Every structure is written in C-alpha cells, then in structure tokens.
Amino acid sequence: MKRFDFKALAKIFAKCTATAVLSAVFILSGCSDKGAVSSNALPVIIIGSDEYEPYNFSDKNGNPAGIDVEIASEAFLRMGYKAQFKNIVWDEKDEMLADGKVDCLWGCFSMNGREDKYRWVGPYMNSRQAVAVRADSNIYALSDLSGKRVAVQSSSKPEEMLSQKSDDIPQVSGLYCFVRTEYIFAALRKNYVDAVAGHEYMLRVFINESDNKYRLLDESLLLSKLGIAFAKDNDSALLEKLRATLYDMKNDGTLAKIAVKYGLDPNTALGGITLE
C-alpha cells in the first residue's frame, strides 16, 4: 500500500489532471465486475485521530467507524486516495503531525481558537460541547459550576475553556483531565467529580446507557466549528481539492445523510456551513 507523498503532489497536478490520475490507477489496478477501482491500489492518506464516538470509534469487528471516518473515506475516495485512520494519543497530535507520522488530524477537532495554529479545511460541521451532571444534582446552569469539580478529556475544548480565567467562564474548584472519555464517566459515577463536559452526543449516549441517572444542562458550553487540520507549512493543492470535495458532499446530501445515520440533527450539524 503506497503512502501519500505531499511533496510529490505538486508534480502530479502539474503533469496531469485528476481524471488522468484516476484513469491510470484504474488501468493498473484492474476493476471489479461493477467497474470500481480497488481502494487497495490507491495512495494512502494517514489521518490521526482518537476514539471519540460518534466521530471515530471501533465497531464490533474492530474496524474504524463513525461520522468522520465515513466522511473522510468518501471524500478521499472521490479524490483518488484511500483514507487510513490511525488512533493516536491526542496529546501527541502536534508532534505526530510535525514528524509526518500522520498527514492530517481529523476527529471532531474544533477550529475555535486554533484558527492560526494549523492550515484548516473547513468548517465542515458544527459540534455542541455540553455539561452532564447527576440527575439529583443542584447544578442547573453553567454558573452553578463555580467551585465544583469537573472532568474533561485531555486537550479537549472543554479543558481549554474551563482552564481560562474569565468573567464569562465559571471558576471550577478542580479540573480533572483524562486521556480516555470512559475515564471521565467513571469519575462522575464514583462521585469523584460533580460534572463532566464534552461533546453532546457522547454525553447523551452515556446518559441513555445509565438509565437516565444523569442529565444535560440546557446551556451550551460551546458551539464548535469542526475542521481538518494540516501542518501550518503545508501548501499542498490537496487541501483545496478536499475543501471542494466536501462542498460537493454537502450539496449532494452526503454530509446530511451521514449525520442522520449517527443520530445528529442535520440542521444543527450543518447550519451555517458553506465550505465556499
């Protein structure tokens, strides 16, 4: 399986059109009865992500699944590449991107406040960050988090927000950061913390699986714009082609279809998203 080479991309685009590239792959790799190009013959894009349901997780067979897995796989296939998701320790994402161990970061990654840190493609979808508490908790508003203990995932947007010293952000007494999302739920179940903060879908799944012993606050901690992060010095033409492909996928209904499949409201998930 061939690894995608960003440095070679400029030469490829200079010598041939995308149609010609796909045609060459088709001829060399052969085709099925339906005339489809084998994805195993395509150059590979390695995507760094961590387990974050419903965006990226392992299905019952251990294969990558989720919203971002489906979007990335379809987008890169349309472009003539194969998407390969690589689970990484999220705290090490910048080092892996800089070292070229992954080609991009894609996994419910918020652009908010990070606009100048990476070269972005997006936003391609919205994401709501929320707070969950025990059903009998006296916490009903974000302001009630003041002086409370909160668990979050390491390097997440909730961690960044709740670490700030601001009149707009409640000052928690303790912010507990865990590498894996299941640890934050364990902390709440064992009463080590008073609340957990994270992606709305993730929290709703936890609540539903816990017989509604917990509840979400009505207020949003943050409405995030999700994007695909590339290295700051990456000026590859691939980025613009990916943006254009996602634009097509939004307009032809593919993004909405994937959102609905995983229980998201497409109007909320795609509201205000243009990709222009």
Spans of all domains in the chain: 6-126+226-270, 127-223
Q: What is the pLDDT of residues 149-208, one digit of tens each?
A: 999 999 888 999 899 888 888 899 999 999 888 999 999 999 999 999 998 888 988 998
Q: How confident is the model at residue 146 (pLDDT cuts 50, 70, 90)?
A: very high
- Name the residue among 181, 123, 176, 187 with its Cα closest to residue 150: 176
Each residue of 42-64: b (16+ CB within 10 Å) or e? bbbbbbbbbbbbbbbbeeeeeeb
pTM of the model: 0.68
- Name the residue among 144, 114, 125 with its Cα closest to residue 230: 114
Look at strands 44-49 and 82-87 and give their pairing: parallel
pLDDT at 4: 53
Give the single-character DSSP code of 63.
-
Contact 150, 168 (CB under 8 A): no
CATH code that applies to domain 6-126+226-270: 3.40.190.10
CB count in 10 Å sphere of residue 207: 17
Cα angle, residue 274 at apex, residues 270 and 276 outer, rounded to 5°: 155
| Amino acid residing at 229 | A
Q: At what angle do helices 254-261 and 238-251 cross, to 10 degrees?
A: 70
Share of the chain above pLDDT 70, in %: 86
* Tokens read off for 126: 């919205």
* Tokens read off for 128: 């709501």
pLDDT at 9: 47
Q: 271 or 121: whose pLDDT is higher? A: 121
Indicate if the pLDDT at residue 87 is higher than 90: yes
pLDDT at 38: 62
What's the fold here for domain 127-223?
A: D-Maltodextrin-Binding Protein; domain 2 (3.40.190)
Catalogue the E-assigned strands of the chain.
Answer: 44-49, 57-58, 64-65, 82-87, 104-105, 119-134, 149-153, 174-178, 195-199, 214-216, 222-230
CB count in 10 Å sphere of residue 77: 16
Indicate if the pLDDT at residue 131 is higher than 90: yes
Domain 6-126+226-270 identical in fold to domain 127-223: yes
**Cis before residue 123, ω within 30 degrees of 0?**
yes
Hey, CA dihedral for 144, 148, 152, 158, is it positive or negative?
positive
Q: What is the pLDDT of residues 149-159, one digit of tens each?
A: 999 999 888 99
Indicate if the pLDDT at residue 30 is higher than 70: no
Residue 100 has phi, psi (to 5 degrees) of: 75, 15
Summarize the chain as % helix, strand, coil (round to 5): 35, 25, 40
